[in-house]
Amino acid sequence: MTSSSTRHRIKGSIQERFFISWRRVALRQRILTGRRWGRNGELDQYQHYGGSMLGNAMKSLFRSGARELKDKFSNDEDEDEFATPYNLRIGGAVDIDTLPMRMHVDQLRMRLPEETLIIAAQGYIELGDGGFVHRYYAANDSMIQVLTINGVKDQHVEEITLFTPFKSYYPSDRDEWAEWTAKDGRIGRTTFTLDDGTEYDRIWFDDTTSYAEPVAYSEFVYEDPESDDHDEIHHKAMLYGRNLEADKKNEYLLVSAESYDNEKTVEVMIGVDLELAMMKII
């Protein structure tokens, strides 16, 4: 069990990214069905405005309790623990071979991990049609994200991504929040520029030439696989990216307005693709 200070750090740094792959534009568009945010940046009640299977699945997830969610992921061998690909789990450790990324270190804006990642929390998002996002949060605030389709075993894995935190923002009033979450705010514009001038193009809704409404969704985060206690994190996010070295490498930027426990922040996280061969899971 993690300490209270570690739990606070993990909860305060949960950054979101799903459907990173550049080749999944059509599937990403369906994520539009979900929760809307009000004009003042507050979460409104759930509204179904897409009419797709994804909307029904997300509504079902919002209504379900922790026990129902665990039942959905339970293993045959241990009914009280979540099923998880590659044996990634709370309390597990992951060594990442960063050599392929260090070949681009002069171009990357993300901080590469220097030590073994110890998984301290685990999150889930249901995408509908058998799709799930699994997030593994390390005590050093890094995150490994795994996308599975039509199952949660190794053979169902579609993508693996490593994210590290870049910067946190703390808007203090409605006007400052509007700069991020209102229509034409920073989260949803066609590009996002860092303070050093590095520019990332919008990946989600990249066929739209103007502002696009950020994706809103909820995630259930657990710190104890044997407990039903969990946090429900609400997100309003947009994914950006840029190519390195003539399209040979992608670097992603996820900008997310997060709401949980009556606290709200804007978190920016930078990520790169991972291959299974780059990870040693202990």
Q: Tell me the average pLDDT of the chain.
A: 75
Q: Which domain holds residue 83?
A: 4-281
Query: Looking up tokens 């919002």, which residue turns up?
Result: 62
Q: Does the structure show a pLDDT above 70 at 241?
A: yes
C-beta atoms surrounding 51 within 10 Å: 9
> Structurally, how many domains does the chain consist of?
1
Question: What pLDDT, on the 0 to 100 scale, is given for residue 129?
Answer: 81
Whether the per-residue pLDDT at 55 is higher than 50: the answer is no
pTM for this predicted structure: 0.72
Question: What share of the chain in percent tops pLDDT 90?
Answer: 46
- 142 pLDDT higher than 90: yes
> Does the pLDDT at position 3 exceed 90?
no
Summarize pLDDT for 178-201 with one digit per residue, the tens: 999 999 999 999 999 999 999 999
Rounded distance between C-alpha atoms, residue 190 and residue 242, angstroms: 12
